[in-house]
Amino acid sequence: MIKFRKVHYHLMYRKYPIMKKVLLLVPFVIFGCKPISSVLSESSTKKVQDPLEIAYRVRENAVAETLKYLASDELKGRETGTEGMVKAADYLEQFFKDNKVKPYFKSYRDTLSNFKEPAYNIVGFLEGNDSVLKNEFVVISGHYDHIGIAKEGVNGDFINNGANDDASGTTAVAEMAKYFSITKSNKRSVLFVFFVGEEKGLLGSKHLAKKLKAQNFNLYAQFNIEMIGVPMKRDYLAYITGFDKSNMASKINEYTGKKTIGFLPKEAEYQLFYRSDNYSFYDVFKVPCQSVSTFDFENFDYYHHVSDEFKVMDIPHMTSFIQELLPAITQMTNSPTQEIIMN
């Protein structure tokens, strides 16, 4: 079985020719009933009269603190099954404890059943405050693993720090968990997941999706965050994978009152819907499960490269990204009905 990995832009083909062959094996996207032009029109024109006002403010120094540690040389690239991964897991577990986010299982550590070395997702839980809606779940997630030590270094640097991929997304999930723990503004229950094994073939998300399905987990939607460390030069903040598969993009734009999410043609071309941890959950639950990103194949040259470091991340952008998405994820947890649906 093909294990999908994120494959980005033509420059990678010269270094890794096998990647071009892998792309040819990826199934073609089967678009939903609506033409993408119709969905795009809806998302760009449909707006809310009065978007939710969020008094809470994300702090740049908090964003920088988490990102800087996760992308530090001390963690040696956070490869799944290594000491660096364990240190990252320890940090994220303590983050949950400090912010009063409870473990969903007996502990925060969800040990993988599909990887030979010790490895675990870190899973936190905040119960919803509505007696009925709390039985439904929103999953907010990102992967904290990366690819570890490079065989060939660059200017003496061998550590793939993975600041953008995906310490940036992990940091955003952590800040969203902090927000909900302080505001207690979620009517639905929220599962915050830091996946491991994404770079090994989505192993962490495959394991957890199967486990939760067996427990009759009532999933409404998954919002996965991938590579948001640098901004795009476009008229929208971010794009979503599998844009046409659900109405998530248009609903986010309604909830924020802005053109927050747009359609990126390269996302469809490279089939990114299948390349991150959202796909594992979609494959099992068949509900809206999508990833949001600001990496657009033009704004970042260091995919799976030792120069993907903290110093090249845009902290003000990351902070404003998280802030702009707060109304959307709040409304996801609070809408009286399940407004985000498959197309």
Question: For the whole prediction, is pTM greater than 0.85?
Answer: yes
Closest CA to 295 of 230, 248, 235: 230
Residue 314 lies in a domain: yes
Is 138 within the bounds of a domain?
Answer: yes
Per residue in 161-219, pLDDT tens? 999 999 999 999 999 999 999 999 999 999 999 999 999 999 999 999 999 999 999 99
What 8-state DSSP symbol labels residue 146?
Answer: B
Q: Measured between alpha carbons, how far is residue 31 from residues 4, 35, 117, 257, 342 in Å?
A: 19, 8, 38, 26, 11
Per residue in 23-48, is it b (16+ CB within 10 Å) or e — as a string? Answer: eeeeeebeebeeeeeebbebbbeeee
pLDDT at position 27 is 40
Q: Is residue 64 part of a domain?
A: yes
Which SS3 state, helix, strand or coil, does residue 207 take? helix
Q: Answer yes or no: is 45 within a domain.
A: no
In a domain, 217, yes or no: yes
Domain-embedded: residue 278: yes
The average pLDDT across 123-133 equals 98
For residue 315, being part of any structural domain is answered with yes
The total domain count for the chain is 1
Phi/psi class of residue 100: alpha, beta or left (left: φ > 0; alpha: ψ in -120 to 50)? Answer: left
Q: Where are the alpha helices (DSSP H) in 78-152?
A: 83-98
pLDDT digits (tens, 9 = 90+) for 61-104: 999 999 999 999 999 999 999 999 999 999 999 999 999 999 99
pLDDT at 35 (0 to 100): 52
Lowest mean pLDDT among 37-46, 151-160, 215-224: 37-46
CATH number at residue 299: 3.40.630.10
- Tell whether 328 is covered by a domain: yes
Tell me which residue range forms the domain holding 287: 11-34+55-229+266-334
| pLDDT tens readout for residues 1-29 | 333 344 443 334 333 333 433 333 344 33
